[in-house]
């Protein structure tokens, strides 16, 4: 009897063991099947913040539209900074700390929270040992300035990271003084000679003979003409060509005429391709900035799927920000953060910021709800500041505008944005783009706080400049 009972117990234990093993095997198979299914999921199954089919309309409705109605920097300075203002990028951490220190004031606390939500700052100290044989050469590079020589020995490196766009930059002010960083002589004289030499055989000077047209023909205004790019990157890829050859000495009326014609070209092209609604504009001035011809010309492209890659990443970053930080428009927050640091200036409905994560030297960003006269006049003022006040003639700019059929009050859409930056001294043969820029992070030598001072000074002068052109096609 005892033997039988023992045998029966062994059978029960054996059965239980097999059942448990089988259960574990089934669980493993289910997990493997789920993993396989997830890996096989097509891109169409992935939620895309930009696709209205997969994003609830209620989410879009909650994002406020862009506005540049801000608390003045003077008020922020008196409340949070004891009436002081940051003078250089090296002051950035100190003034963010002051916002935190005075966070009991609602104004200071809000500015601090916004900065910390968007940005991270890291500062490092590094040492350079100069041998007795190398020291004289460094002293010569620094024009005998002993203070700069000492700064070379003990350098401060500042990292600024945007947590949403993933833009990052490294500042080291000493690098701006290294060999080859400046022009070789009179840059203005070099540019004028370059312009004169390029007149001979210039295709754009004879645009009726030597340029192409879109299927709706060329569009003309008094001062500019819209042609087709001969070798396109988009179904509709046009160019605004100035009717004067000189890319540097143009006035406000000429520039606004060009921008007005660009808006007309977008509308005309969209009438031929109704599914193309994403407006892009790109401008490179002079060969140093990769311009194929010296004669001033601005590229236009109308996309159908989304904004082009880098703009699309910014757009998605802005939407994710608004999803995480309720009732906030990313671009409003961006403007407010820069304004709180004294890095913004304003012209009616448009604003300009000296970007704290610039991708090249002197980068500024112009913002407005829509592509308006205020927006383009401020863009013009920025260009003139670069050329007249900073001696930067080789420049690049990229702009996008709200989707053509979208309401400008819809905060889920991009506002009007232009990013303008320097490509370096126009007479320098060395490229301004390095492997760091292409594959790593941006290294910028020009201080955003110095840039904004020049912009503000020039803005006061230019706001009263003569302007007679009346736009017809701006929103």
Domain edges within the chain: 73-176, 189-464
Q: What is the pLDDT of residues 15-63, one digit of tens each?
A: 455 566 666 665 656 555 544 444 343 333 323 334 444 454 556 667 8
Q: Which residues contact 376 (CB under 8 A, 6 or more apart)?
A: 255, 256, 259, 471, 474
**What's the confidence (pLDDT) of residue 362?**
97
Mean pLDDT of 250-261: 97
Instruction: Examine the pLDDT at 179 and tell me if it is beyond 80.
Output: no
Residue 383 structure tokens: 């260009």
pLDDT for 52: 40
- Predicted confidence band at 5 (pLDDT cuts at 50, 70, 90)? very low
The pLDDT of residue 326 is 80
Confidence label for 136 from pLDDT (cuts 50, 70 and 90): very high
pLDDT at 446: 92
On the question of pLDDT at 236 being above 90, the answer is: yes
Residue 122 CB coordination number (10 Å): 12
Residue pLDDT, tens place only, 397-452? 999 999 998 887 888 999 999 999 999 999 998 899 999 999 999 999 899 999 99
Query: Cα separation of 96 and 81, whole Å?
Result: 10
Which is higher by pLDDT, 282 or 183?
Answer: 282
Mean pLDDT calculated for residue range 158-164: 97
% of the chain residues with pLDDT over 90: 75
pTM for this predicted structure? 0.86
Mean pLDDT (the chain) is: 88
**Residue 124 confidence (pLDDT) above 60:** yes
For the segment 390-403, the average pLDDT, to the nearest whole number, is 97
The hierarchical CATH code for the domain 189-464 is 3.30.428.10
pLDDT of res. 27: 62
Question: Residues 6 or more apart from 44 whose CB is under 8 A from it?
Answer: none
Does 3 score more than 90 pLDDT?
no
Each residue of 329-367: pLDDT tens digit?
999 999 999 999 999 999 999 999 999 999 999 999 999
Residue 173: the pLDDT is 82
Strand 168-171 to strand 442-444: parallel, antiparallel, or no bridges (unpaired)?
parallel
Whole-number percent of the chain with pLDDT over 70: 85
Average pLDDT of the residues in 269-293: 97
């Amino acid at each position: 009897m005892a033997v039988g009972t023992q045998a029966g117990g062994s059978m029960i234990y054996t059965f239980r063991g097999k059942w448990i093993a089988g259960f574990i095997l089934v669980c493993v198979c289910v997990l493997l099947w789920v993993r396989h299914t997830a890996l096989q999921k097509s891109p169409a199954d992935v939620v895309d913040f930009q696709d209205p089919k997969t994003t609830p309309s209620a989410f879009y409705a909650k994002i406020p539209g862009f506005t540049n109605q801000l608390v003045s920097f003077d008020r922020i300075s008196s409340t949070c900074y004891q009436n002081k203002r940051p003078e250089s990028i090296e002051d950035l951490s100190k003034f963010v700390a002051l916002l935190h220190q005075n966070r009991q004031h609602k104004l200071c606390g809000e500015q601090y929270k916004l900065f910390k939500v968007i940005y991270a700052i890291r500062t490092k100290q590094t040492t350079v040992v100069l041998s007795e044989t190398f020291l004289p050469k460094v002293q010569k590079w620094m024009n005998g300035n002993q203070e700069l020589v000492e700064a070379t020995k003990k350098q401060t490196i500042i990292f600024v990271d945007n947590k949403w766009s993933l833009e990052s930059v490294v500042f080291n002010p000493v690098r701006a003084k290294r060999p080859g960083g400046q022009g070789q002589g009179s840059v203005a004289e070099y540019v004028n000679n370059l312009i004169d030499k390029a007149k001979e055989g210039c295709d754009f000077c004879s645009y009726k003979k030597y340029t192409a047209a879109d299927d709706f023909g060329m569009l003309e205004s008094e001062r500019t003409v819209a042609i087709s790019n001969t070798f396109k990157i988009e179904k509709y890829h046009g160019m605004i060509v100035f009717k004067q050859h000189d890319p540097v000495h143009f006035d406000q009326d000429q520039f606004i005429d060009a921008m007005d014609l660009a808006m007309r070209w977008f509308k005309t092209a969209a009438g031929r391709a109704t599914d193309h609604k994403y407006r892009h504009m790109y401008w490179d001035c002079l060969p140093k900035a990769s311009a194929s011809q010296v004669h001033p010309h601005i590229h236009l492209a109308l996309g159908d799927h989304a904004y082009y890659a880098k703009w699309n990443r910014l757009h998605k970053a802005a939407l994710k920000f608004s999803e995480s930080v309720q009732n906030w428009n990313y671009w409003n927050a961006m403007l407010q953060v820069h304004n709180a640091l004294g890095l913004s200036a304003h012209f009616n409905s448009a604003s300009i910021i000296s970007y704290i994560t610039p991708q090249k030297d002197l980068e500024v960003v112009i913002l407005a709800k829509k592509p308006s006269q205020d927006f383009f006049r401020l863009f013009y003022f920025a260009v003139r500041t670069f050329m007249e006040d900073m001696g930067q003639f080789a420049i690049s700019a990229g702009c996008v505008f709200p989707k053509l059929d979208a309401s400008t009050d819809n905060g889920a859409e991009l506002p009007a944005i232009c990013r303008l930056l320097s490509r370096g001294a126009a007479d320098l043969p060395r490229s301004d783009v390095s492997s760091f820029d292409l594959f790593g992070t941006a290294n910028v030598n020009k201080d955003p706080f110095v840039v904004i001072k020049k912009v503000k000074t020039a803005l006061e002068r230019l706001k009263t400049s003569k302007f007679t052109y009346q736009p017809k096609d701006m929103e």
